[in-house]
Structure 1
């Protein structure tokens, strides 16, 4: 048994059982066995297996003493829970092992994370290292912290290191704050232990807010991409509607000059529940992303069931020929498909109840505009019409809309996103009990939301308002429950 859980083992075990019986418990997403989870950390394809670490509080369903939870997979679909990787048990991380990344250092799986200390309101954040040769058991480095002080003039907010190797040197981006404005600093090292500050390569001028969390910097198809989570951005129309955002800056970077020339900030996901995204490059050369599938302001009704939070499905990042960054479900997720439920076309006016239902579904629907002012799908619908999550295209505004005002427990609300292709609209939807992930036009727009309908609200409807729409095709599959091996049982064996 992991020492971290010894004193809490019995209560934790009860919450594992309680979580497994939750009607909100997800069937194919990554979650902790119980209790709290937030940011994905340390994503890496190492020794032929995918490793995902995550921020985890094993003693409560709310954030607190943050550890690194850990799981691995051979195929990005079927996951195995592993012992907690690192715990806040040193003077430099006693209040939490905050977010970070993972690298392969000559065969040693190396985690780089933020040690967080809160001494009666006095906060210190430093960058630290833990190492493993077997990929399961980790030892913190005796030279920790490897970066003990924030950049000159910066505040104590100094966290979330993302590390990579380029031409024989290690590089790190890390979030910081100076004069109440967010920065992302670049560091350089020969050995992962001694680091040189190359300066801030992203600086907020106020529009990007007061803190830039969870930076991730990489090259993709000849462009340089910074993924990060700014705090304190002001809402602008349909944009920046969540408490905090996650998005990208795309441009060109020079290692010698340490200068990043980038364009405008673009949100990665326009839904309600997406934060702290991190990417990695796998052995196939793909750039794959996970995000935290919750948000800090969320009510999280699953907390009453002994657990809180999950990660998104894995998404591959590519560029469209137009230069737009696309985010698509990885192809391995097709292994989740269990039973094909429907494949047909039709002209739709009004509301039509479809002849399949479920709380774990993949749906791919392609529409051609006709006369309807809006059209789309209602999912997780109750028989009495009181519950549903609405996914629709507003033809008048040219926007995709997610409406969860009748989606069950938790917050309601509406999110909108303008799209470029207006004549043919393709919706790919992943439904998993208490989540909906919507991919529009092969990843042009993505919207992720947690929903909390009653267990029996499983219906699916197609609709058109103000005229007709041509449903060119609709395919649907029931999806496997990876945690319960296809059975409908509600306990973990």
Structure 2
């Protein structure tokens, strides 16, 4: 990797950052100083610090030749921008991948994306590595590509390697598709990260599960094995699969001796507008932590006008709940963001609406409704601006659906997302609002909804509401949060 390429890329970002319009800049999420980002890559805890890399185009707020941007943190909350880690060669991109600690050597495993004809979308992909002793400066291996081509029965889609170690052997899953466009994940093994043996297909879909499975991740969670992936090409089905592309998981049992994965059906992981390409890692506390891209392909992205585009979600701890359902909740360290606590009400019934005025744009909310004592057909909250703009989150008792409505806050078309949530006793909502994002965690992670919002008006406050009856509020507390980037 030519040092001049990296220097030019870092200089370009530094210059672009001086011109960024701050109106939608996030206060406590990972984003680049300027220009485009998408998938999180290389999530790892290395030498006691958390590292997150991300797909990055340093020369434009639009997608382009992919570099790896880089941040690190001691606490998963306060992030520090580091120099761009790897840059592509001519007519190439350093696509998504992962990171491992190889006896003190931080190793990035990534896809080389090589364009043959841009207009005809002709390309080929292979797998490569770059290494670092200090966790900041990386050198591409002279052994690259470490996997030169996909298996013979494969299409040219062959990307996003996720690598882990089991006993004394390295394993890699790669997103792939068959020659007749059926999405799948394939498996490799290695003793040294340089020479890889193809094992076979770990899991494969059908004509209903998309033509390509991007960003696979495979790990053990609470006694089961989880395959996460981001299928492209699933058709919408009622409230399911409403985004252009999906992110979800299979739960099953895996045998390293036979390399057989026996698994159930595909389940969506998040039901908002803007959640894709999730990746997980295991930290020193034994937690499985996930971070996703907080945007969606081909969606409205007004921040491009401001000189930047793309952000990552808050870090979320994963657990396996009842019926093999993955529960996602914010990591406990996020309480470090809290600057002031505002205890609004306890054990109070509301009829109609209850407004709490606040101009804060960085807020954490915790609201618990006693649904056994609630007679209202619909309960929820509005993040209100001073005039017409608002973001709605509401729950309907009759059909047990939780709805996030962003149609009056930047998503005029296709503004609603819904998911089933059984809440006969307590409806617990934990909501993080940043300047241009909302992340909802309902009933301790039984449902999550992640969306970008783009308000143009000043904030008025938070309004609780009940329709056709009373809502019983057990507790309503909110916190003003700090801006880590200031």
Instruction: State the TM-score bracket (shorter-chain normalisation).
Output: over 0.9
Q: CA deviation at 1:150?
A: 0.5
Alignment partner of 1:414 out of 413, 416, 431: 416
Q: Which residue of 2 aligns with 1:271?
A: 272
Q: CA deviation at 1:95?
A: 1.6
Q: Is the 8 A contact 1:270 1:417 kept in 2?
A: yes
User: In structure 1, how many angstroms separate the alpha carbons of the residues matched to 2:378 and 2:484?
Assistant: 36
Alignment partner of 1:383 out of 383, 386, 389: 386
Q: Is the 8 A contact 2:68 2:85 kept in 1?
A: yes
- SS at 2:18's partner residue? helix
Q: CA deviation at 1:151?
A: 1.3
Matches within 5 A, 1:279-318: 279-318=280-319
Q: Which residue of 1 aligns with 2:238?
A: 237
Q: CA deviation at 1:322?
A: 4.8
Alignment partner of 1:394 out of 393, 396, 400: 396
Query: CA 1:7–1:190 in 2, change beyond 3 Å: closer, same or farther?
Result: closer
Q: Is the 8 A contact 1:429 1:436 kept in 2?
A: yes
User: In structure 2, how many angstroms separate the alpha carbons of the residues matched to 1:339 and 1:311?
Assistant: 25
- Aligned residue pairs: how many? 478
Unaligned runs of 5+ in 2: none
Q: Is the 8 A contact 1:2 1:83 kept in 2?
A: no
Q: Is the 8 A contact 1:5 1:58 kept in 2?
A: no
- SS at 1:333's partner residue? helix
Query: CA 1:80–1:411 in 2, change beyond 3 Å: closer, same or farther?
Result: farther
- SS at 2:154's partner residue? coil
Q: Which residue of 1 aligns with 2:113?
A: 116
User: In structure 2, how many angstroms separate the alpha carbons of the residues matched to 1:99 and 1:67?
Assistant: 9
Q: Which residue of 2 aligns with 1:488?
A: none
Q: Is the 8 A contact 1:299 1:411 kept in 2?
A: no
User: In structure 1, how many angstroms separate the alpha carbons of the residues matched to 2:32 and 2:438?
Assistant: 19
TM-score normalized by structure 2? Answer: 0.96
Q: Which residue of 1 aligns with 2:176?
A: 176
Q: CA deviation at 1:82?
A: 0.5
Provide Cα deviations, 1:385-425, integer angstroms capped at 9, x if missing partner: x1000000011210100001111366551000001233310
Q: Which residue of 1 aligns with 2:375?
A: 371
- SS at 1:156's partner residue? strand
1:320 aligns with 2:321: yes
Q: Which residue of 1 aligns with 2:85?
A: 85
- SS at 2:113's partner residue? strand
Q: Which residue of 1 aligns with 2:478?
A: 476
Q: Which runs of 4+ in 1 moved over 6 A?
A: none
Moved more, 116-125 or 324-333: 116-125
- SS at 2:194's partner residue? coil
Unaligned runs of 5+ in 1: 485-493
User: In structure 2, how many angstroms separate the alpha carbons of the residues matched to 1:118 and 1:278?
Assistant: 25
Query: CA 1:10–1:191 in 2, change beyond 3 Å: closer, same or farther?
Result: closer
Q: Is the 8 A contact 2:213 2:232 kept in 1?
A: yes
